[in-house]
Chains A and B, each alone.
Chain A
Amino acid sequence: MVAAVAFDGVSKRFRVYRQRHHSLKEAFIRRRRGVYDEFWVLRGISFQVESGTTLGVIGPNGSGKSTMLKLIARILHPNAGRITVGGRVSALLELGTGFHPDYTGRENIYLNGALLGLRRDVIRARLDEIIDFAAIRPFIDNAVKTYSSGMTMRLGFAIAVNVDPEILLIDEVLAVGDAEFAQKCYARISQFRAEGKTIILVSHDLDAIRKFSDRAILIDQGDIRADGSPDEVTNRYLNDVRRRQEHPEELADLKTTARWGTHEAEITRIEMLGTDGRPRYAFDTGDPLEVVVSYRCRRPVNDPVFGISISRADGVYCYAANTRANGIRIPRVADAGTVTCSLPQLNLLEGSYFLSAAITDYERGTTFDHWDRRVEFTVRQKQYYAGGVVYMDDHWQVDGTTPVHSPR
């Protein structure tokens, strides 16, 4: 076997500046360039990717997946360990990066192609293919700043796959964009696989991981937690998230959480409860649930609005609701209490999600407390209903009659 990519005890450390001294004076006086916390994004990981295979990489946000891709792409350099890359790499990390807004689509193809290491004559030969793939021919001579985000992304993808890479790195880029283009991307990836290219695919879309990968690894907190067949590893991941319901205190460690507000009223706890009234962090599509937000305030607060929102782990904003939008006006809250939002049916489809909650002011909209991505939970489908984000209660008729359902 030939390894296309090999990691040997690779560690990567990041500095998170709490206070950054960007000026020489400060750096000189304090003898360093800021107050920072160091943390290891990757802790001595080793793995190999066989040439011509597709590796799926999954893990919670902040686990080090993207860092791994950037190390392979040589954008970042490891603090320890050794990385061997045998082949030309093309990275689809953030599509459309490096586009110049004032340039036309055509000019940007040349500029971006050059950035990816393509020669002008190569780009010229593939120009039509790129334009057709991105499906932007009518706009190709307009400035890119007039493009929709979808068009920009399609163009970025079309250029990157035309680099003719030996190793293709894909980071979550397929999660966005319309279905037709997503299909085209998947078809293109299948074609790459058939051509014997090596692909490393990072995604929160477990379906895509199962469908395209020959092997998968699970990364969490900088370590490889599982390495094996895509089915094994994706199940392990779902189980991991499930297991956290038994240890909800672990959730406090989530790096992805963020919080802001004036704290005139504070959220003290956000819980998701199943029908039995006990905390739960894993659901099946269609399950009923309650979200309980506990609050506290030192002084009475007039006219608060309580809200919750759900986003998918890849950032797709799925749902948001609040008391004001529901026609509820809360004149005043004091001391402490709870607000409960009941969802009779969780219509989200399979995936990993985050729940956020916030208390704001009714009139001015001031944020008292916003706790972003406080709770992570997963949704599984007991049986396959549908793909995408939400379940829509679809009904079908064939030639005007409702067909008899056969048991699945």
Chain B
Amino acid sequence: MPTEPAEISTSRQPVRPRVGSAPLPLTRGIDHTVAYWELLSNLVSRDLKTRYRGSVLGVFWSLLNPLLLMLVYTVVFSVIVRVNIQPYPIFLLSGLVPWNIFAQTLTIATTSVTDNAGIVRKVYFPLVILPLSAVASTGVHMLISLGLLAVLAIAFHVGIGLSLVFLPLLVVLQILFSTGIGCLLAAGQVYFRDVQYFLSVLITVWFFGTPIVYSLDLVPQRLRPFFEANPMSWLISSYQDIWFYRRMPSFLHLMAFTVVAALVVLVGLSAYDRLSRGFAEEV
């Protein structure tokens, strides 16, 4: 027997009037995810299979991309501009790898609903699966690139420290954070098609506003507060702590990012849940 969300046998509330005792959207989202787990894994494998179909190097692009970027930034920042961080490639990659995954997740999640307009209009399924599958398929890339990072860390004699026990926690927090933002962007994209263009600008600005190619110490003191207020700074500097400096991430950064990620995912999922009722008509 196919599994179905428990909601199906109970009566459905009309959109309006909204009564106070509506079920908590987050728990409903999770319920759906479990029931449609297989759909999620199907969509992820579809995404992974089709993304590199017809390309010669296939999935290696997800490794090649950060490697080439690493080469470019290393030349620019340790040969030309001479940022005094050694070895620069490992410093760079420890922030660049998670950032790339973050940016890629948001980009794919944004168009996840509009790209699947055909099924959204014609088939009932928990729509939250669409942005979740974007998060999951880039998550696969993240695992591959983190493996690469570990190999390079050893090759550059930075080594792998005990601090890496924090890695799973950082990955989970990043997934929560990007799920929340991804859901908001995906829902926004249904109603306003220029969300995706806005996003590409935002990602560029955000990238240079986050200490990835430079370290926070290099930021002039008077500008520091702006950089310190950026949640991605907290996450990226934690990644740099555990990979490059081989030390415990800052407790303050970790706590602050946990709170922000939890808030963002709650707001994102519940807003998505509410807005998704109109997707079939609007998409």
- Residues of A at the B interface (CB closer than 8 Å) are 10, 14-15, 22-25, 27, 33, 70, 73-89, 91, 93-94, 97-98, 100, 102-103, 110-111, 114-120, 122, 163-164
Contact B1 A76 (CB under 8 A): no
- Asked if A117 and B12 sit within 8 Å, CB to CB, the answer is no
Nearest A residue to B35, CB-CB: A117
Q: Which B40-89 residues have C-beta < 8 A from chain A?
A: 42-43, 46, 50, 53
Q: Known contacts being A73-B124, A91-B124, A98-B123, is A33 close to B191, with CB within 8 Å? A: yes
Nearest B residue to A28, CB-CB: B192
**Taking the complex as formed, is B3 at the interface, i.e. its CB lies under 8 A from any CB of chain A?**
yes
Q: A24-B198, A91-B123, A102-B53 are in contact. Are A77 and B2 (CB under 8 A)?
A: no
CB-contacts of B122-162 with A (<8 A): 122-125
Closest to B42 in A: A114
Candidates A10, A78, A97, A120; contact of B122 at CB < 8 Å: A97
Q: Given that A73-B124, A114-B36 are contacting pairs, would A84 and B2 also be in contact in the complex, using a CB cutoff of 8 Å?
A: no
Assuming the A-B contacts A79-B14, A100-B50, A114-B39, are A88 and B192 also in contact, with contact meaning beta carbons closer than 8 angstroms in the complex?
no
Known contacts A14-B281, A86-B9; A75 and B124 CB within 8 A of each other? yes
Q: Which applies to chain A's interface (DSSP): helix, strand, loop or mixed?
A: loop
Query: Smallest CB–CB gap between A377 and chain B, Å?
Result: 31
Given contacts A79-B14, A84-B12, A89-B124, are A115 and B119 in contact (CB under 8 A)?
yes
**Complex CA distance for A117 and B2, rounded to whole angstroms:** 6
Given contacts A74-B12, A81-B14, A82-B14, contact A100 B46 (CB under 8 A): yes
Q: Measured between alpha carbons, how far is A22 from B124 in the docked complex, in Å?
A: 25
Q: Of the candidates B11, B36, B195, which one forms a contact with A84 in the assembled complex, judged by CB atoms under 8 Å apart?
A: B11
How many residues of B sit at the interface, in one of the four size bands? Answer: 35 or more
Other-chain residue from B125, B192, B193, B280 in contact with A117 (beta carbon distance below 8 A): B125
A406–B177 CA distance with the chains assembled, in angstroms: 79
Q: A102-B50, A116-B123, A118-B38 are in contact. List 14 more A-B contacts (CB 8 A).
A: A10-B14, A14-B281, A24-B192, A33-B192, A74-B124, A75-B121, A75-B123, A87-B8, A94-B122, A98-B123, A100-B50, A115-B119, A116-B125, A117-B2
Which residues of chain A are within 8 angstroms of B280 by Cβ–Cβ distance?
70, 75-76
B13 contacts across to A, CB distance below 8 A = 82
Bound Cα distance from A27 to B16, whole angstroms: 24
Q: Which residues of A lie under 8 Å from residue B123 when comparing CB positions? A: 75, 91, 93, 97-98, 115-116
In the assembled complex, 11 residue pairs joining A and B whose CB atoms fall closer than 8 Å, in A order, are: A23-B192, A24-B198, A70-B280, A75-B121, A84-B11, A85-B12, A110-B42, A115-B125, A116-B2, A117-B4, A122-B1
Considering the complex of A and B, which 9 residue pairs feature the smallest CB-CB distances, nearest first?
Answer: A114-B39, A97-B122, A98-B119, A22-B193, A84-B11, A114-B42, A77-B277, A74-B124, A117-B2
